[in-house]
Chain A
Amino acid sequence: MSDSTSNDSTPHQAARPAFVTTRWTRVLEARGDSTEAKAALSDLCAAYYAPVFAFIRRSAPDEEAARDLTQEFFARLLARGGIDTVDPQRGRFRSFLLGAVKHFLADMRDHDRRLKRGAGQPIESLDADTGTSTGLQAPDAKAASPDREFDHKWALTLLDRSLAAMAREYKESGKSVQFEALKPWLTGDAANVSQAEAARQLGLNEGAVKVAIHRLRRRLRDVIKNEISQTVKDRADIEREMHYLLEALL
């Protein structure tokens, strides 16, 4: 977790900062061509390593190869500043990174693919016995597409970072116990979880627990929005990106 996220997000901060320059806007403005921009891109890449790895893993023969390819991808991206081809209007780091990794994989497989392209690839006809096929297996049928997996992993990474930041904030203000006790309510009001029990555990009355839960939720929303803001160009995109990522999880 980088400095800027934790610095501007203490639990009881009164005023929210305006939409300041974020890492992604910094990268875009400099088109990758400044020390600051490179540092910003590097931060972003470190933060969202997991989705890239998940995406590459889908086409790599094993974990080891996927890890190597992922390293190679980031090394190339960072070495060339990376974004000289990105349209600054496009605005989302997530889209940029997915596009870049696809491009990278296409490059890597170019030779391989040319071999597979051969014209007149024979069409194997169906074996007579399997025309009616009750016993067919669908080996990979339930797996998500690589793009979807990338988005899914991205959303999980975002949540992971946000919750980790929250946990740290609460710890720093000596409220770890409260965070641990109340975090189940971050999923909304579940009928079978008792606030009274949490109140008893924390030595608070139920009203105070309600307020604490409300604050916890509001804080998470802010932290998530802040985290997203680091990866989009416009403030207006934050809400949209949040909905997009929510859909990716469903």
Chain B
Amino acid sequence: MSDSSDLKRCPKCGSPIPDDAPHGLCPKCVLAQASIPTEGAKQQATPSREEVAVAFPQLEILELIGQGGMGFVFKARQPKLERLVALKILPRALAADPAFAERFTREGRALARLNHPNIVAIHDFGHSGSFFYLLMEFVDGVNLRQAMRAGRFTPAQALAVVPKICEALQFAHNEGILHRDIKPENILLDAKGRVKIADFGIAKLVGETQPKTALTGSGATLGTPHYMAPEQLEKPGTVDHRADIYSLGVVFYEMLTGELPLGRFQPPSQKVEMDVRLDEVVLHALEKEPSRRYQQASQVKTAVETITSAPPPPAAPTPDRFWKRMAVAMALLCVAMIVFLAFFAKSFLATQMASTRAQEVAVPRGGPENDSATLVIDTGPRQLFTRPEERDTLFWNFKCLIPADYLEQLVFVMWSNGVPTVMPHFSGYLKVGKKPVVADMSFSYNPHVSGANFGTNVVLWNVCPGFSHTMGYFISNQPPCRVLKTAPRSVLHSGHQLAIRLAELVQSDGVASNGWSGVEIRLILRPLQSPAVQTDPNEYVYGTDNTDYVAGFGLDGMSAESILKLIKELPCETVAVENSPP
């Protein structure tokens, strides 16, 4: 938890070794190493070059170039065609399964149909001697793992590779084929810098056939758990193409940062100098819940290309890195907020405790005569709990009364020199049904005090420690960001929007020459077009008849462009901030 520099550091991962580390060894590296199965692949007898040569008389077998849970790969030459090929010999254990030959024939044909410039082509497959084999295009180059080890990767290079991987995945997914084992070892880069994905569908072919016991030992199914989507580990039967998108997210993260996104990992921009907008792409691909991820590989490609083609944010004369971090922290705040909103509105409906609050501000009802939400905002110390170290924590406190039959959208917007970027993945919405909702929320960067005072209950809710840490660290250590004071109360009318500016960049010369840079939440209030019912499996549904209110992440099915348009067009009140240019 501490990072003071006089600590002993792990020679493997470079992180400080805590005082209570058993045997003075870096605990995470020990456990990481121990979690890798040691038996298995290596115990399989490697077929000798001679043995293989006998089985494939039409080929010149040159050398063994790879091996793993999925078999062995030999570099070979087809003399007649004067070309090099890669011969993949599948594990021998497969031959023991009488049903395998039929499946192999069926799936081999499908794989051989995958004809795409970014997919390693399969020339032939079959059974020869005692071997099941695939004859593949030989890629003269290195795999992504080797390239990363050689330290050749910059974020720009990663951004060149990812769209190619996406193209290959989208193509295969359209053909109904999943890769299931996307990892740096399977992504090849040839001498001309072309990207080729190898081993499409092999994991399934091999994995489903080998006896379970062998698999547990060999690590073929567990093979590369760090790249596998959570559902692949937990519910392997339910896996679909979105598992590949998760694995792509892991590879993307690793390419950018050199590390795996394990545990509560930080957004990539906090690890390396890079475009902060990519955080959202990476994090979105890495959503644990498949339905919250990108649904198509092509969407990842579009997102990456949109960013690479648009001018990079903060060109302002600023400590760039800090600003990126701040934006992410703010974005996480927004996520936390949605969770709170869901949670407390639920509490409201369950307990009807809001009546005490309603005395302070008349509860509005929907309809043209009273179509506004009342938003009460204050920042500052607020005593939710009595631990002394928590008293000075800065809060953003929101109390929001939203009328019945209204939709409130909370859109996270990052401004850079007057140019807004909507961050859909960090945004959320609330559709209110037949009863108005009172949501009373407090956020802070202190994980122990984010929570809410609600009715007569104090509820403490440690919702998002990652956010809290990031936030706390940067607010206290990075002066160029100014946390803004907001007005104590605002009214948000239907068809209007409210911009709540949370923080702004402090320009070095004190003048924002090119327009505002900062982060804000836009609240948009509109009448509901259709009843508040759950339309997405990931929406939170609460209320006595499950239609009292629905909350969800994202933009409620709208595109970022259409939200941007709304933001530009709807009448806007900016909640007062000090020293902020209009």
Contact = CB atoms under 8 A, between A and B. Distances in A.
Nearest to A167: B23
A188 B394 contact: no
B472 to A, nearest CB: 2
Contact of B393 (A134, A139, A159, A248): A139
Contacts of B468: 141
B483 A141 contact: no
A54 B397 CA distance: 31
B446 A140 contact: yes
Contacts of A221: 34-38
A186 B30 contact: yes
A187 B12 contact: yes
22 contacts: A116-B386, A117-B458, A135-B479, A136-B483, A138-B472, A139-B392, A141-B445, A145-B448, A145-B465, A147-B462, A148-B264, A163-B22, A164-B22, A187-B12, A187-B33, A188-B32, A221-B38, A242-B34, A243-B233, A245-B31, A246-B28, A250-B28
B483 A138 contact: no
A250 B22 CA distance: 16
B381 interface: yes
Interface string B474-509: 011001011111001000000000000000001000
Contacts of B28: 246, 249-250
B484 A145 contact: no
Interface string A206-247: 000000001001101100100000000000000110110111
A145 B462 CA distance: 8
A137 interface: yes
B263 A186 contact: no
Contact of A139 (B25, B385, B446, B469): B446
A12 interface: no
Given A126-B378, A187-B13, 19 more contacts: A116-B386, A118-B456, A127-B380, A131-B379, A133-B394, A134-B479, A134-B482, A138-B446, A145-B462, A145-B465, A159-B22, A163-B25, A183-B23, A184-B11, A186-B30, A187-B10, A220-B33, A221-B37, A250-B265
B20 interface: yes
Given A132-B578, A249-B31, A240 B482 contact: no
Interface residues of A, number: 63
B45 interface: no
Contact of B465 (A144, A184, A240): A144
A123 B454 CA distance: 12
B99 interface: no
A142 interface: yes
A247 B263 contact: yes
B383 A136 contact: no
A239 to B, nearest CB: 7
Interface string A184-212: 10111111110000000000000000000
A43 interface: no
B31 A242 contact: yes
Contact of B38 (A183, A214, A242): A214
Interface in B355-392: 356, 378-383, 385-386, 389-390, 392
A121 interface: yes
A164 to B, nearest CB: 8
Contacts of B10: 187, 190
A155 interface: yes
A140 B12 contact: no
Contacts of A243: 35, 225, 233
Nearest to B386: A116
Contact of B473 (A123, A133, A141, A186): A141
A167 B23 CA distance: 10
Contacts of B578: 131-132
A126 B455 CA distance: 21
A54 to B, nearest CB: 10
B453 interface: yes
A155 B262 CA distance: 15
B485 A132 contact: yes
Nearest to B449: A140
B477 to A, nearest CB: 9
Contact of B453 (A121, A143, A224): A121
A124 B469 CA distance: 24
B380 A132 contact: no
Contact of B33 (A133, A186, A239): A186
Given A124-B381, A148-B465, A184-B25, A138 B263 contact: no
Given A140-B446, A220-B34, A221-B38, A123 B27 contact: no
Nearest to B480: A134
Contacts of A156: 20-22, 27
A12 to B, nearest CB: 16
Interface in B442-461: 445-448, 453, 455-458
Given A126-B379, A131-B485, A220-B30, A141 B476 contact: yes
B1 A144 contact: yes
B29 interface: yes
A117 B446 contact: no
